[in-house]
Amino acid sequence: MTEEGSGPRGPSLLWEQHCCLPLRRHADVGELARYRRPGGSFVSVNAGYVPHSADDVTGLITSWRERIAADHRLRPAGRLDDIEAAAREGNVAVAFDLEDSGPLAGRLDRVRRFYDLGVRTMLPSYNNRNAAGGGCLDEVDEGLTAYGRALVREMNAVGMVADGSHCGARTGLDMCEVSEQPVIYSHSCMRSLWDHPRNITDEQAMACAATGGVIGITGVGIFLGPNDAGVDALVRHIDYAVELVGHEHVGVSTDYPFDHDDFNAMLEQSPELFPDSYTRWGPIDFMPPEELPTVENALLARGYPDDAVTAILGGNFRRVAAQVWQ
């Protein structure tokens, strides 16, 4: 359906807030072209987490940016203008995120350093407690530390989006309380529908929305249900989130790992490294980039208005970037 007086719905921007290349300097960045579509795409690529130092992150991004800039299908994105240019070209704009604040090694000045490299989103903690706050796999989450609160304020000042995915529930709520800018859950599903520790509570979702933020429903099978990465499972979580907080605060962010075969091999060979909530179904299923257009079609088929579909597919995350990025 279209708005009264408008023409047929044209292609809209697709905003993939989190995906994962192999964390190697010579990873094939050309894989990101799989997100290419009419209307353009934006992709945020993970550039490090717990094991990585500042030098590791710098080396990864420097190497990747050079090859992204040399690929006619891709465009490094430091500003919204870069995303608009990619949209006009039908290409993919690329920025970066950090899944943990560990690479900062306690130095808040590195927030600016990573922002200048192209990092636009960062999580304080990844699954387990660190110097900034608690993780979703901790038995007890005591929330943001004093350092974690200072980190969120520094991210606000620099223009980097604060992300609660992988954080503990109390830590995520504290982020929403401290932040003066929108907070997102870049790749998380709804715990009321599927009780997995990586999913977020209704309270977290509502606090995120109250900041003006967005919940990116992810395409990881074990977070959507019993290892179901199909479009129906993903849309079910979108429906729930929209009913709870409104379509203005919901997005799609698949968390697709381009090295998923290697990840599943590690899961099989070293199951003791992961909790039962990750291993009980065997190899994890992921929604690949090529499946995202089916989400758009499914939402339209369910009667979502055009403006809601455009917002969920990319407009909401773009709005946050327009407000936070500097």
Q: Give tens-digit pLDDT for 161-220.
A: 999 999 999 999 999 999 999 999 999 999 999 999 999 999 999 999 999 999 999 999
Report which of residues 271 and 253 the model is more confident about. 253
* Residue 2 pLDDT level (bands cut at 50, 70, 90): very low
In this structure, is residue 19 part of a structural domain? yes
105 in a domain, yes or no? yes
| Total domain count, the chain | 1
- Average pLDDT on 209-235 reads 98
Specify the pTM: 0.95
Yes or no: say if 41 and 35 are a contact pair by the CB < 8 Å rule.
Answer: yes
Q: What is the dihedral of CA 46, 83, 238, 213, to 10 degrees?
A: 80
Backbone angles phi, psi at 162, to 5 degrees: -85, 135
Assigned token pair, 226: 């019993």
Is 28 within a domain? yes
Query: Can you give the residue range of the structural domain that contains 32?
Result: 13-122
Q: Is residue 197 a part of any domain in this protein?
A: no
Residue 24, domain member (yes or no): yes
Question: Do residues 15 and 42 make contact, with C-beta atoms less than 8 angstroms apart?
Answer: yes
Asked if residue 190 belongs to a domain, the reply is no
Tell me whether residue 171 is in a domain: no
Q: Residues 292, 231: contact at Cβ < 8 Å?
A: no
**pLDDT at 133 exceeding the cut of 70:** yes
Residue 73 is assigned to a structural domain of this protein: yes
Q: Over pLDDT 70: what percentage of the chain?
A: 97
